[in-house]
Chain A
Amino acid sequence: MLIDVPQEYYLILSAMMFVIGSVGVLTRRNAIIIFMSIEIMLNSVNLTFVSFAAFMGDTAGQIFVFFVMAVAAAEAAVGLAIVLALFRNKKTIYVDEVSLMKW
């Protein structure tokens, strides 16, 4: 029988991906890069879901990943439309130069 990788390794990999994504959100100023870092974080959670689903031999986790992907697609459409509207009004997409909602 083929020996598989222990599940802890998948969890460690997904934790590292989540760290990279959160560092990207907190350090970058370009709104599109922040958006891509959020996608990395969503994907790390998806990897956790898939590894738990596989090691439990269950379908439920994979269905949740399916839903997360649908929400990510909706988020991509609306988020990029917001970035375009922001660029049209402010001529910048650097989040530190947009302080409209900051008091």
Chain B
Amino acid sequence: MAVEKVLITGMGVVSAAGMNVAETLAGFSSGTRNISQTTPSLSPLDYPVFHVSAPLGDPGRFSSRTVHLTFHALDEALADAGLSQDLSGLRVGVCMGTTVASQLNDMDFYTAYRKTGQPPMEPVTGFLKSNLAEAVAFRVKANGPCVTVVNACSSSADAIGVALGWIRNGQCDLVIAGGGDELSRIPICGFSSLSVFSHEPCRPYDRDRQGLNLGEGAGIVILEPESAARRRGSRASLFVGGYDAACDAHHLTAPRPDGSGLEAAIRGSLAEAGIQTQEVGFVNAHGTATRDNDKVEGGVLARVFGTGIKVLSTKGFTGHTLGAAGALEAAFTALALREGWIPASAGFENQDEEIPIGAVRERTTVSARYAVSTSLAFGGNNASLVIGREP
């Protein structure tokens, strides 16, 4: 029996690349990189960051900036799907990815705890109300499965994979999947301690890349089984064709040098989608611009797809948005299939002799029906999503 398609019936994005889909596409087309520097209120460390500077919408009872970013993308995705903000009549699942929002790491709270032993409890109660998936479920009155994936940098790609499973298992009529993360002092300190930051705008896949820049944002996709979506009049043409994940089981922070975990995830996702490698038009790579990531990932992409595969990393426009990255990049991949072009991979100029493939240097037409988005995470998890477009 043929597996029913799982359509992407709505998308919402917010990042330094744009406050919505239209702004993001315009920025991609023009090659604009909205990069700034850390401010003293964010971190005393001076690094380039991709900050969302425009105001966000009303977050209701939630104080977390990650929740604000996520609600901003959620509202766009619901509108794009033609859905109201009250989904209580449907079997709706919510699966979100994040990193920063999962941790009780409020500096003011902890400083007061250390100094006085009597910290204010509002940061704790606020944290306990701000589990990202629970917050989204609360906002739309979702009554189905609800969970937040905290798989570091592959969190929201894995969240989309979990959502795909819920729909294919018949657990949900509709799933809100994606992720969000805010710029925060804590990961800025942490990534700085790991010496993986670049002091200039990041250059994914470039020979002279020096590391990553952090960013913030959120990406949401609304997933529905094709039959249900068509019944309510959706004309969506994009779909999630396949997903897979595999662990390196190698190191807490470094990718497995042979990339076999990533390769297994990509091949598994292609098999689930029922397609061959030559049907994939391009890969939106994880492409953090660290020496290790791009070298390992580039080698795997060449091995799986051949050296002629078109590759880009949208992190040159957004920075590394951590738990939001997988969903943002899945949405960007879907948009590229819909629009028929991918942007120049921002920051890429010179091919690295150690990597058998380079990234695209200019806006490039794509006519393929399928594309792949990859995510590699702290902890060694690798995730791959196959996004498709109906003819």
A is bound by B: no
Which A residues contact B (CB, under 8 angstroms)? none
